[in-house]
Protein backbone atom coordinates (compact mmCIF):
# COMPACT_ATOMS: atom_id res chain seq x y z
CA UNK A 1 0.00 0.00 0.00
CA UNK A 2 1.15 3.50 -0.75
CA UNK A 3 -0.03 7.04 -0.28
CA UNK A 4 -0.51 8.58 -3.70
CA UNK A 5 -0.44 12.23 -4.69
CA UNK A 6 -3.90 13.81 -4.82
CA UNK A 7 -4.45 15.94 -7.92
CA UNK A 8 -5.68 19.45 -7.21
CA UNK A 9 -7.41 22.06 -9.36
CA UNK A 10 -6.55 23.25 -11.96
CA UNK A 11 -4.91 19.89 -12.94
CA UNK A 12 -6.55 19.07 -16.32
CA UNK A 13 -6.66 15.33 -15.49
CA UNK A 14 -9.49 16.11 -13.03
CA UNK A 15 -11.67 16.89 -16.08
CA UNK A 16 -11.10 13.39 -17.51
CA UNK A 17 -14.10 11.10 -17.97
CA UNK A 18 -13.08 7.81 -16.34
CA UNK A 19 -13.35 4.48 -18.14
CA UNK A 20 -15.16 1.40 -16.79
CA UNK A 21 -13.18 -1.28 -14.99
CA UNK A 22 -13.20 -4.49 -17.04
CA UNK A 23 -10.44 -6.46 -15.28
CA UNK A 24 -10.86 -7.35 -11.60
CA UNK A 25 -7.32 -8.29 -10.60
CA UNK A 26 -4.56 -7.62 -8.07
CA UNK A 27 -3.79 -4.30 -9.78
CA UNK A 28 -7.35 -3.13 -8.98
CA UNK A 29 -7.03 -4.34 -5.36
CA UNK A 30 -3.72 -2.46 -5.00
CA UNK A 31 -5.30 0.70 -6.43
CA UNK A 32 -8.19 0.42 -3.94
CA UNK A 33 -5.83 -0.20 -1.00
CA UNK A 34 -3.69 2.80 -2.03
CA UNK A 35 -6.83 4.95 -2.40
CA UNK A 36 -7.97 4.10 1.15
CA UNK A 37 -4.51 4.82 2.56
CA UNK A 38 -4.38 8.14 0.64
CA UNK A 39 -7.91 9.12 1.73
CA UNK A 40 -7.30 8.32 5.41
CA UNK A 41 -3.99 10.20 5.33
CA UNK A 42 -5.52 13.33 3.75
CA UNK A 43 -7.93 12.99 5.74
CA UNK A 44 -11.14 12.65 3.73
CA UNK A 45 -14.34 10.60 3.54
CA UNK A 46 -14.32 9.81 -0.18
CA UNK A 47 -11.89 9.53 -3.09
CA UNK A 48 -12.26 8.78 -6.78
CA UNK A 49 -9.44 7.03 -8.68
CA UNK A 50 -9.03 10.02 -11.03
CA UNK A 51 -8.06 12.11 -8.00
CA UNK A 52 -4.89 10.00 -7.77
CA UNK A 53 -4.40 10.18 -11.54
CA UNK A 54 -6.07 6.88 -12.50
CA UNK A 55 -8.98 7.40 -14.95
CA UNK A 56 -10.95 4.31 -13.85
CA UNK A 57 -14.50 4.18 -12.49
CA UNK A 58 -13.48 3.35 -8.89
CA UNK A 59 -14.54 5.13 -5.68
CA UNK A 60 -13.73 4.57 -2.04
CA UNK A 61 -15.86 6.02 0.75
CA UNK A 62 -15.65 5.82 4.52
CA UNK A 63 -17.87 8.19 6.48
CA UNK A 64 -15.97 7.10 9.63
CA UNK A 65 -18.79 7.52 12.14
CA UNK A 66 -18.00 8.03 15.80
CA UNK A 67 -17.75 4.67 17.54
CA UNK A 68 -20.14 4.82 20.54
CA UNK A 69 -18.71 1.53 21.91
CA UNK A 70 -15.10 2.78 22.03
CA UNK A 71 -13.52 4.38 25.07
CA UNK A 72 -13.03 8.14 24.56
CA UNK A 73 -9.43 8.91 23.63
CA UNK A 74 -7.41 11.59 25.38
CA UNK A 75 -5.18 13.50 22.96
CA UNK A 76 -2.46 15.98 23.75
CA UNK A 77 -1.68 18.45 20.98
CA UNK A 78 0.92 21.09 21.81
CA UNK A 79 0.19 20.92 25.53
CA UNK A 80 -3.61 21.13 25.04
CA UNK A 81 -5.30 18.00 26.29
CA UNK A 82 -8.74 17.09 25.02
CA UNK A 83 -11.00 14.06 24.73
CA UNK A 84 -12.69 12.87 21.57
CA UNK A 85 -14.74 9.92 20.48
CA UNK A 86 -12.74 7.59 18.21
CA UNK A 87 -14.17 6.80 14.83
CA UNK A 88 -14.68 3.35 13.43
CA UNK A 89 -13.69 2.58 9.90
CA UNK A 90 -16.40 1.41 7.53
CA UNK A 91 -14.57 1.27 4.20
CA UNK A 92 -16.79 0.97 1.12
CA UNK A 93 -15.62 0.33 -2.45
CA UNK A 94 -17.74 1.17 -5.49
CA UNK A 95 -16.49 -0.06 -8.88
CA UNK A 96 -18.38 1.05 -12.01
CA UNK A 97 -21.12 2.74 -9.94
CA UNK A 98 -24.35 3.93 -11.58
CA UNK A 99 -27.20 5.93 -10.09
CA UNK A 100 -30.47 4.28 -11.03
CA UNK A 101 -33.16 6.23 -9.26
CA UNK A 102 -32.28 9.66 -7.85
CA UNK A 103 -34.96 11.23 -5.66
CA UNK A 104 -36.84 14.33 -6.79
CA UNK A 105 -36.36 15.78 -3.30
CA UNK A 106 -33.04 17.54 -2.79
CA UNK A 107 -30.88 17.93 0.28
CA UNK A 108 -28.15 20.49 0.81
CA UNK A 109 -24.77 19.64 2.29
CA UNK A 110 -21.73 21.78 2.73
CA UNK A 111 -19.25 19.90 0.56
CA UNK A 112 -15.50 19.99 0.37
CA UNK A 113 -13.05 18.07 -1.78
CA UNK A 114 -9.48 16.82 -1.42
CA UNK A 115 -8.83 18.15 -4.95
CA UNK A 116 -10.08 21.62 -3.94
CA UNK A 117 -8.46 21.93 -0.48
CA UNK A 118 -9.88 24.19 2.22
CA UNK A 119 -12.85 25.27 0.07
CA UNK A 120 -16.40 24.43 1.20
CA UNK A 121 -19.76 25.31 -0.33
CA UNK A 122 -23.40 24.24 -0.13
CA UNK A 123 -24.43 21.90 -2.95
CA UNK A 124 -27.95 20.58 -3.63
CA UNK A 125 -28.20 16.93 -4.66
CA UNK A 126 -30.94 14.27 -4.68
CA UNK A 127 -31.67 13.28 -1.07
CA UNK A 128 -31.69 9.54 -1.84
CA UNK A 129 -30.55 7.38 -4.71
CA UNK A 130 -30.40 3.75 -5.75
CA UNK A 131 -26.90 2.73 -6.80
CA UNK A 132 -25.70 -0.28 -8.78
CA UNK A 133 -22.01 -1.06 -8.40
CA UNK A 134 -19.44 -3.85 -8.32
CA UNK A 135 -16.90 -4.83 -5.69
CA UNK A 136 -13.20 -5.62 -6.31
CA UNK A 137 -14.17 -9.20 -7.27
CA UNK A 138 -16.64 -7.96 -9.91
CA UNK A 139 -19.79 -8.97 -7.97
CA UNK A 140 -22.71 -6.62 -8.66
CA UNK A 141 -24.83 -5.03 -5.93
CA UNK A 142 -27.79 -2.63 -5.79
CA UNK A 143 -28.40 -0.49 -2.75
CA UNK A 144 -30.60 2.43 -1.68
CA UNK A 145 -28.50 5.21 -0.18
CA UNK A 146 -29.56 8.26 1.80
CA UNK A 147 -28.13 11.02 3.98
CA UNK A 148 -24.44 11.77 3.84
CA UNK A 149 -23.65 8.51 2.01
CA UNK A 150 -26.02 9.44 -0.84
CA UNK A 151 -24.42 12.89 -1.08
CA UNK A 152 -20.91 11.49 -0.89
CA UNK A 153 -21.41 8.88 -3.62
CA UNK A 154 -22.94 11.51 -5.93
CA UNK A 155 -20.00 13.84 -5.25
CA UNK A 156 -17.47 11.07 -5.97
CA UNK A 157 -19.38 9.88 -9.07
CA UNK A 158 -19.18 13.42 -10.44
CA UNK A 159 -15.39 12.96 -10.46
CA UNK A 160 -15.86 9.98 -12.80
CA UNK A 161 -17.45 12.40 -15.30
CA UNK A 162 -14.77 15.08 -14.84
CA UNK A 163 -17.03 17.25 -12.66
CA UNK A 164 -15.90 18.92 -9.43
CA UNK A 165 -18.29 20.07 -6.71
CA UNK A 166 -17.40 23.70 -7.47
CA UNK A 167 -18.82 23.13 -10.98
CA UNK A 168 -22.26 23.02 -9.30
CA UNK A 169 -21.80 26.57 -7.98
CA UNK A 170 -22.72 29.78 -9.75
CA UNK A 171 -19.90 31.28 -11.81
CA UNK A 172 -19.47 34.02 -9.20
CA UNK A 173 -19.21 31.58 -6.25
CA UNK A 174 -16.90 29.27 -8.22
CA UNK A 175 -14.59 32.16 -9.14
CA UNK A 176 -14.55 33.35 -5.51
CA UNK A 177 -13.66 29.83 -4.32
CA UNK A 178 -10.83 29.50 -6.85
CA UNK A 179 -9.53 32.97 -5.95
CA UNK A 180 -9.51 32.00 -2.27
CA UNK A 181 -7.65 28.77 -3.09
CA UNK A 182 -5.03 30.64 -5.13
CA UNK A 183 -4.53 33.13 -2.28
CA UNK A 184 -3.99 30.30 0.21
CA UNK A 185 -1.50 28.63 -2.13
CA UNK A 186 0.39 31.91 -2.57
CA UNK A 187 0.57 32.36 1.21
CA UNK A 188 1.82 28.79 1.80
Active site residue ranges: 156
Instruction: Identify the three-state secondary structure at position 136.
Output: coil
For the chain, the distance separating the N- and C-terminal CA atoms, rounded to the nearest angstrom, is 29
Which residues have C-beta within 8 Å of that of residue 37, sequence separation ≥ 6?
A: 1, 2, 3
* Alpha-carbon span 99 to 129, nearest angstrom: 6
* Alpha-carbon span 139 to 24, nearest angstrom: 10
* Alpha-carbon span 35 to 98, nearest angstrom: 20
* Alpha-carbon span 41 to 56, nearest angstrom: 21
Peptide bond into 43 cis (omega under 30): yes
Amino acid sequence: MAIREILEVPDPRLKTVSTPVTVFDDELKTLVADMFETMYDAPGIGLAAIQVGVPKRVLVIDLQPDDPDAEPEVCNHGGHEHTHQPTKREPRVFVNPEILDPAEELSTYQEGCLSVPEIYADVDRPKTCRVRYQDVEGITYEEDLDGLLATCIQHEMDHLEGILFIDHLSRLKRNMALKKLNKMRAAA
